[in-house]
Amino acid sequence: MGKIIDGKAVSKEIYADIKTRVSSYKNKYGRVPGLATLLVGDNPASRSYVRSKIKRSEEAGFTSYHRDMDNSSTREQITGQIKEWNNDNSIDGILVQLPLPEHLRKDTASIMDTIDPAKDVDGFHPENAGLLARGTPRFIPCTPRGIIELLKHEKISTEGKHAVIIGRSQIVGLPLSLLLLMKSEYGNATVTVCHSRTRDISSLTQQADIVITALGKPRFLTAEMIKQGAVVIDVGINRVDDPAAKKGYRIVGDVDTEAVLEKASAVTPVPGGVGPMTIAMLLLNTLNSFEIKQK
């Protein structure tokens, strides 16, 4: 039976460390990190994510700035707000919650690109993506950074290991592949990236020492698809109907966790694995942005 990696417990340790550092900076520099969040529209899941981010940042002692903009907001109104925050020295991190409303989807990249790269704590700006690809990252996207921090915490070495990632998105799969390839202690892996056009994914995952699922398909990875003793990191967040649950649904990952645990050496659960690490990394990136400015 494999170990369940408790991402919630690890994130709590990180929050405690951030809080201590913030309170010492308050005396030393006379200010604390500032995180600005922008929510456009009324997507309930986005509202709930933003609420958690604000709550966590305030608990850590940050100053938080928030603006709610309605569904019909224009590209210019949104970039106007971002530019105002770019010029505000008390703000170290800017987060625009995605996805944007339907009529703005095509403008997502150009809106995100107006964020000052020195405040782009989500790490999506082309300048930060380029720095990561070059092997000299500034802000690492939060979910991939959270995964590396979990591996570090669990002392799961990646050096020389075969890591198979399922998913090649800009926010998870692709940056994670770059991190695992980096010439660093928790890099130096041999990386295979799979996507919807990959043939015979099982034949690849069966060779993997570490499998990372980031595709958004409930229980996609089964026990038959992994080798004995593999480490499995489940990034997926999927709603499945469950009449017995209070809300009529429950959240599952991309892994058939119970069956996979019988064969794997360690598995991250959903919920309580990678998810809690993502917000912790947002705070850590904002703290790092603040620290860079003090130097």
* Of residues 92 and 234, the one with the C-beta less far from ligand NAP: 234
Does the active-site annotation cover 6? no
Distance between CA 192 and CA 147 in Å, rounded?
A: 16
Q: Which is nearer to ligand NAP, 76 or 102 (CB)?
A: 102
Question: 92, 122, 209, 234: which is the annotated catalytic residue?
Answer: 122
Among candidates 283, 231, 295, which has minimal Cα distance to 261?
Answer: 231
Q: Please answer whether residues 120 and 139 qualify as being in contact, where contact means their C-beta atoms are separated by less than 8 angstroms.
A: yes
Please say if 122 is a catalytic residue: yes
To ligand NAP, the closest distance from the beta carbon of 14 in angstroms equals 14
C-alpha torsion angle, residues 165, 97, 148, 174 (rounded to 10): 30
Whether 97 is catalytic is yes
Q: How far is the CB of 38 from ligand NAP (least distance, A)?
A: 18
Choose between 47 and 293: whose C-beta lies nearer to ligand NAP.
47
259 by DSSP, 3-state: which? Answer: helix
Nearer to ligand NAP, 18 or 201 (CB): 201
Geometric angle at alpha carbon 257, from 55 and 254, rounded to 5°? 65
Task: State the minimum distance, in angstroms, from the CB of residue 158 to ligand NAP.
Answer: 19
Nearer to ligand NAP, 240 or 292 (CB): 240
CB 131 within 8 A of CB 137: yes
CB of 282 to ligand NAP, least distance (A): 10
Q: How far is CA 126 from CA 117, 171, 177, 288, in A?
A: 8, 12, 17, 19
The DSSP string of 89-106 is TT--EEEE-SSPPGGGGG
Burial class (CB in 10 A: 0-12, 13-18, 19+), 250: middle
Binding site for ligand NAP (CB under 6 A): 143, 166-169, 171-173, 194-198, 201, 214-217, 235-238, 274-275, 278
Catalytic-labelled residue, pool 81, 92, 97, 120: 97
CB of 170 to ligand NAP, least distance (A): 7
Q: Indicate which residue of 53, 81, 119, 254 is catalytic.
A: 53
Catalytic residues: 53, 97, 122
